[in-house]
A and B are shown apart, each in its own frame.
Chain A
Amino acid sequence: MDKKLGVYICTGCGIGESLDIEALKKVATKEFKAPVCKTHPWLCGSEGVEMVKADMTNEGVNTLSIVACSPRVKFDVLDFSPALQDRVNVREQVAWVLPAGDEDTQMMAEDQLRMGLVKLNKSTPPEPYLAENMSKTVLVVGGGFSGMNAAIGAAQAGYPVILVEKEAQLGGFMKTMNKRVRPPYKELADVDLEGQIKKVEAEPNIKVFTAAQIEKISGGPGVFDVTLSQNGSSVTERAGSVVLATGWKPYDAGKLEHLGYGKFTNVITNIQMEEMARQGKITRPSDGKEVKNVLFIQCAGSRDENHLPYCSSVCCLVSLKQATYVKDQDPEAAVYVLYKDIRTPHQSEDFYRKVQRDGGIFIRGEMTAISEDGNKNLVVEADDALLNEKIRLEDLDLVVLAVGLVPTALDEMALNLDYRQGPGLPLTKYGFPDSNFICFPYETQRTGIYAAGCVRSPMETALCAEDATGAALKAVQCVESTAIGASTFPRSGDMTYPEFQMQRCTQCKRCTEECPFGAINEDEKANPLPNPTRCRRCGTCMGACPERIISFKNYSVDMIGSMIKGIEVPDADDEKPRVIALICENDAYPALDMAGINRIPIDPFYRFIPVRCLGSINLVWIADALAKGIDGVILLGCRKGDDYQCHFIKGSELANTRMEKISETLGRLALEPDRVRVEEISINDYDKLPVILKDFMDRIKELEPNPYKGF
């Protein structure tokens, strides 16, 4: 494509008052020889937009640099697709945070423009990757309540569904349930599993495989090849995306001997209680007599560092439900609940009220001892947290342990992924197959595979239904995006993908190992084999590759490197240091924008370069920057570690590890290691960001100017 550049400078929003626009235009027209360069007092107004469009039609302008506000705002108005376009942020990052008319303010704007123009120069229009024979079928794994709901959701949206259940019948755990508590959470409700199954069976878009296993899933979004085995034979189906809904298992009560389980006959789990209720009568297991005094012990194993460190979320509601079974059987029976906190998600507080109204006694405290007399009556001692004294509950016929739930993803290989990175889904710290639950629930660490229901997070049935629909919609979004060659979350719509200059590959395997999504396999000769539809376009592979042979059409090692080279570095005696901030687009960039919107002053010696993820940062940028006389480099990205916030899971972690290695390079250049810093920022940290930036700049000013200036 022959590029014809048009630079459009908006002078509204205080930009015109802040900057010398004529000088800025010169950067475009003289330094970069832009054939078209115009200003407008209100570029995002219809007149401004028309001006640009007219140039596109009449002048053949096809490469646009919009010098205005942050790319995060007005993106719909200032969208001139399919032209190649880039936004130079001189509002939030310049005019709103630096003194108007100042020399340094002008220098900052000019450098921002230079970098933007280099970026455009080094970009080419994306050509979407389109795989062959793409499918829009959604594969749902697990035929329980969540799985059935996901299948119905996707089918009703008009997509073919394959529903796979390992047992002979659909229903999962619900088959063992006696009653449900569901919105509006006033009374017990029937489970109505049959109704649900009928709905699945009546849906022509759903193909059900029961008593079936998944032998293998290979390929990627749009082109998953699923090998199923059923009754000894196997079939292969193609699917576009996957919903994992394999549910949960109760926590092993065998480990709860300290609560009397396995020692006393009349200590049972909530699972056994449910079964008893379903059989019709709640009795003492020891002698079959009807129960008069029942105690529920909450958080049995949950919220306990030695067992499950998390709240299982449903067991409070289950005990409330089972307390109602007891009261319905005998209104005179005494029901006690020993709890830490009663947790009633959503509107289910109403059901808690009902149980209180029916006379349930709630005791906040912790069990300290349990004993049994000759008649198998139980006595529980506890520390009552509110009375602040020891209490005793005597003559108990039944003690029910409210055991929590464990996701099946922890030890079941339901998917058998044919990925170089292993057959299962990577799990986060509590064993749930999450990717980033705050920003994108349902996403797992394998693109196109979404988790729903209790395998994703503990939740009660009403929420499972909602969750399943959510995951089904994600699965649909995935097949639609993949069909046009676009990325899924978080770079939704991105049409680029990593391209490898394979001739120069040294088979070092860094890209295969570091890709957080398992998008790169390898062949027998250890050559990387990218699966572009699995890719989320984070650029981690690009940051990893020591040969620098991985690049995107609009994002490459050379591009950012050239942008850095484009920055003007004043002489050492000017006392104007230059510091590069490589700033992650996901959280840090919006935080910087917010600081701008709040007009919190920032230092004019920074040059901000947005990156897709800290993981995409190639060490060569830093080495080159320092060799050019840049005084310091700061990396601003998301939190890493167990509670990571990184939108690409491992990016910020990897960046940190790589930066540890940079000190070697710095040593070689005889520079202080302090010149490079990594900081974690979350999206709402906008007030902290200017402080972090100032702190780093202060440190840089303490150091001598970089001796490489001017060489």
Chain B
Amino acid sequence: MEQVVGPKSSGGKAYDQSFAREVYQKVDSGEEIKMCMQCGVCAGSCPLKEKMDYSPRKIFTLIRAGQREKVLSSQAIMLCTSCYSCKVRCPRKVPVVDVMHGLAHYALRQGYKPREETALFGQKFWDNIYRLGRIDEKDVAQRYFLGHGLGPGIKLMLENMNMGLGMMRKKRMKLLPERPIKNVKSLRKMLDKAKALGKGGAV
């Protein structure tokens, strides 16, 4: 016979440790979140928190609670811009940025695409590096815009034209195409190797 103290609802999510264990083992820097004490400094520091569905702290709490779906399909893990505000402030020295990227990679590998645009932009950025060994801003932007399809691509280009012109005026972007770096072939070899080891890749 079941006995109860308090208003039992049998609702609510059950805690489940399997996802936390998965993260600790398989996600880059995943084990570091063990040290999170849920103080919220990272969430308070993050310039993108308005745009995130879950703050970094909440992501970590969800992991411990075993809510796999919510975490891996979260937009937040792909919104991190590597500003490092959280990482330098975390009193528990959790490398929040690394964990967020680790989670994003892991989510993509598991077939989740939390943010199409971020994934697309990451891919084009990566391709650019792979091809030139450096970034050609206008090339990445063009390819990213066109990645949305020809019509929307042109529209996006027009929308962003003023920014492009501004960057040129400030010499932040060149008119002529960038040339590949010296010996780009050996860089590619390194990147291939990293990929084979399951590191790096586009996000």
8 Å CB interface, A385-411 against B: 386-387, 389-394
Asked whether any CB of chain A lies closer than 8 Å to the CB of B57, the reply is yes
8 Å CB interface, B7-25 against A: 7-15, 17, 20
Which of A224-232, A362-370, A616-624, A690-698 makes up part of the contact surface? A362-370
Task: List the A residue with the shortest CB-CB distance to B35.
Answer: A356
**Set of chain A residues within 8 Å of B13, measured between Cβ atoms:** 387, 389-392
Q: Is A369 within 8 A of B4, CB to CB?
A: yes
Taking a contact as CB atoms closer than 8 A, the residue among A334, A359, A369, A386 that contacts B34 in the complex is A359
**Set of chain A residues within 8 Å of B64, measured between Cβ atoms:** 361, 363
Asked whether any CB of chain B lies closer than 8 Å to the CB of A145, the reply is no
Task: List the A residue with the shortest CB-CB distance to B17.
Answer: A334
Q: Could you say which interface size class chain A belongs to?
A: 35 or more
**Set of chain B residues within 8 Å of A264, measured between Cβ atoms:** 3, 5
Q: Is B61 within 8 A of A368, CB to CB?
A: no
Question: With A387-B62, A392-B13 as given contacts, are A342 and B8 in contact (CB-CB < 8 Å)?
Answer: no
Q: Is A391 within 8 A of B61, CB to CB?
A: no
Q: Is B14 within 8 A of A374, CB to CB?
A: no
Q: How far is the CB of B64 from chain A (nearest CB, A)?
A: 6
Cα(A370)–Cα(B5), bound, Å: 5
**Set of chain B residues within 8 Å of A257, measured between Cβ atoms:** 5
Q: Is B34 within 8 A of A263, CB to CB?
A: no
**Set of chain A residues within 8 Å of B15, measured between Cβ atoms:** 336, 361, 363, 391-394
Question: With A370-B5, A374-B2 as given contacts, are A386 and B14 in contact (CB-CB < 8 Å)?
Answer: no
Task: List the B residue with the shortest CB-CB distance to A295.
Answer: B15
Cα(A589)–Cα(B149), bound, Å: 79
Question: With A357-B35, A361-B17, A364-B38 as given contacts, are A387 and B4 in contact (CB-CB < 8 Å)?
Answer: no
Q: How far is the CB of A601 from chain B (nearest CB, A)?
A: 42
Q: Is B8 within 8 A of A381, CB to CB?
A: yes
Asked whether any CB of chain A lies closer than 8 Å to the CB of B154, the reply is no
**Set of chain B residues within 8 Å of A367, measured between Cβ atoms:** 6
Cα(A374)–Cα(B3), bound, Å: 9
Asked whether any CB of chain B lies closer than 8 Å to the CB of A418, the reply is no
8 Å CB interface, A337-393 against B: 342, 352-353, 356-357, 359, 361-364, 367-374, 381, 384, 386-387, 389-393
Asked whether any CB of chain B lies closer than 8 Å to the CB of A258, the reply is yes
Listed residue (A260, A374, A391) with the most chain B CB atoms within 10 angstroms of its CB: A391
Asked whether any CB of chain B lies closer than 8 Å to the CB of A318, the reply is no
Asked whether any CB of chain B lies closer than 8 Å to the CB of A259, the reply is yes
B160-191 contact mask (Cβ, 8 Å, vs A): 1 or 0: 00000000000000000000000000000000
Q: How far is the CB of A557 from chain B (nearest CB, A)?
A: 58
Asked whether any CB of chain A lies closer than 8 Å to the CB of B158, the reply is no
Q: Is A389 within 8 A of B37, CB to CB?
A: no
Q: How far is the CB of A581 from chain B (nearest CB, A)?
A: 46
Q: Is B4 within 8 A of A371, CB to CB?
A: yes
Task: List the A residue with the shortest CB-CB distance to B70.
Answer: A387
Q: Could you say which interface size class chain B belongs to?
A: 20 to 34
Asked whether any CB of chain A lies closer than 8 Å to the CB of B197, the reply is no
**Set of chain B residues within 8 Å of A362, measured between Cβ atoms:** 37-38
Q: Is B3 within 8 A of A371, CB to CB?
A: yes
Cα(A69)–Cα(B4), bound, Å: 71
Cα(A257)–Cα(B3), bound, Å: 13
**Set of chain A residues within 8 Å of B146, measured between Cβ atoms:** none
Q: Is B58 within 8 A of A387, CB to CB?
A: yes
Cα(A334)–Cα(B92), bound, Å: 22
Q: Is A381 within 8 A of B9, CB to CB?
A: yes
Taking a contact as CB atoms closer than 8 A, the residue among B1, B14, B65 that contacts A394 in the complex is B14
Q: How far is the CB of B32 from chain A (nearest CB, A)?
A: 10
Q: Is B6 within 8 A of A381, CB to CB?
A: yes
Q: How far is the CB of B124 from chain A (nearest CB, A)?
A: 36
Cα(A361)–Cα(B60), bound, Å: 11
Q: Is B5 within 8 A of A387, CB to CB?
A: no
**Set of chain B residues within 8 Å of A372, measured between Cβ atoms:** 2-3
**Set of chain A residues within 8 Å of B4, measured between Cβ atoms:** 369-371
Task: List the B residue with the shortest CB-CB distance to A342.
Answer: B37
Taking a contact as CB atoms closer than 8 A, the residue among A353, A357, A390 that contacts B12 in the complex is A390
Q: Is A391 within 8 A of B8, CB to CB?
A: no
Task: List the A residue with the shortest CB-CB distance to B20.
Answer: A361
Q: Is B6 within 8 A of A263, CB to CB?
A: no
22 contacts between A and B (CB under 8 A): A263-B3, A263-B5, A334-B17, A353-B92, A356-B37, A361-B17, A361-B20, A362-B37, A364-B38, A368-B6, A369-B7, A369-B8, A381-B8, A384-B65, A386-B57, A387-B13, A387-B61, A390-B9, A392-B10, A392-B14, A392-B15, A393-B14
- Further contacts, 8 of them, CB under 8 A, given A371-B8, A391-B13: A258-B6, A356-B35, A361-B17, A369-B9, A384-B65, A386-B58, A387-B61, A394-B15
Interface of A with B (CB < 8 Å)? Answer: 257-260, 263-264, 334, 336, 342, 352-353, 356-357, 359, 361-364, 367-374, 381, 384, 386-387, 389-394
